[in-house]
Amino acid sequence: MSILLLVGPLSVQFAAHAANPVAPNLGTAATYSVLGGQTVTNTGASTLSGDLGVNPGTAITGFPPGIVGGATHAGDAPALQAQSDLTIAYDAARLSPSTANVSGDLVGRTLTAGVYTSASDLQLSGTLTLDGQNDPDAVFIFQTTSALTTASASNVNVINGAQACNVFWQVGSSATLGTASAFRGTIMALTSISVQTGAVIKGRTLARNGQVSLDTNTFVTPNCGTSDVLPTPKLPEAPATPALRLPIVSG
């Protein structure tokens, strides 16, 4: 009886402080802000602090006006290598032992380090908080066999030492980041990734087989140990209304 009483509380303690997962090794894909399988398209003044690449496809459009802080690899050997490394990292994330199951909308949740598994679509309609519990190496892995969709103005927030460099989203189909959302972590999607207007990402969008589409986005490379401040998501300004032509009187 006394043993059972002891084991119960320990089990709860274990769930709250699960062993820190092992971060998947991105290899050469780590230097990319955006990596696509077939194409990468961009509209507007997107800014990528890291590399841009596509493989096996070769089409990259919208740069400029988009700006690439690193190198651009359109169907070349480095992009091929990055895709290969992405596949390894994707599988590593997919096979990471699950800490807990999640489903549906993650809004309002505060999660500690762990591997969170969903057998269906994952959504985020508001703020998800990732709590590092004062461990800068706290790793967060999200696994979904289906899609990841975040809503407009949604936010993945980090507290207590958690860092975007240690957040990974393994997506079994496609991901969509909503308009003017603030997202942290590296998305590794099997198919495609759509980043809607004005969204800012401290992380990466890496698509294995399909397209990555961008629209006036800001990508900040999630280097560990750096400030976790994200630019404020901002929608592009509407085209200026032509100045009102006022009648000129005779004076």
Quote the least distance from Cβ 238 to another protein, whole Å: 17
- From residue 164 to residue 203, the character string flagging contacts with another protein as x (rule: CB under 8 A) and all else as - is ----------------------------------------
Quote the least distance from Cβ 247 to another protein, whole Å: 5
# chain residues binding another protein, by CB under 8 A: 8
Q: List the interface residues with another protein, window 210-249 (CB under 8 A).
A: 244-249
**Rounded Cα distance, 157 and 27, in Å:** 25
Quote the least distance from Cβ 248 to another protein, whole Å: 5
- Options 64, 239, 242, 251; binder of another protein; rule CB under 8 A: 251
**Rounded Cα distance, 149 and 163, in Å:** 21
77 vs 249, beta carbon nearer another protein: 249
13 vs 250, beta carbon nearer another protein: 250
227 vs 250, beta carbon nearer another protein: 250
CA dist 206 → 118, 125, 237 (Å): 20, 22, 28
Place of tokens 């699960």: 18
11 vs 250, beta carbon nearer another protein: 250
Q: Mark 110-148 as b/e (b = at least 16 C-beta within 10 Å).
A: ebbbbbbbbeebbbbbebbbbbbeebeebbbbbbbbebb
**Rounded Cα distance, 102 and 99, in Å:** 10
Element containing residue 13 per DSSP (H, E):
helix 2-16
- The dihedral sign for the CA sequence 168, 42, 124, 234: positive
Q: List the interface residues with another protein, window 72-131 (CB under 8 A).
A: none
Dig out the tokens for 65 from the structure.
């006006």
Quote the least distance from Cβ 243 to another protein, whole Å: 9
Element containing residue 78 per DSSP (H, E):
helix 77-94
Quote the least distance from Cβ 242 to another protein, whole Å: 12
4 vs 245, beta carbon nearer another protein: 245
β-pairing, 148-150 vs 167-171, is unpaired
225 vs 251, beta carbon nearer another protein: 251
Quote the least distance from Cβ 244 to another protein, whole Å: 7
Do 187 and 204 touch, CB atoms closer than 8 A?
yes
List interacting residues with another protein (CB under 8 A).
244-251
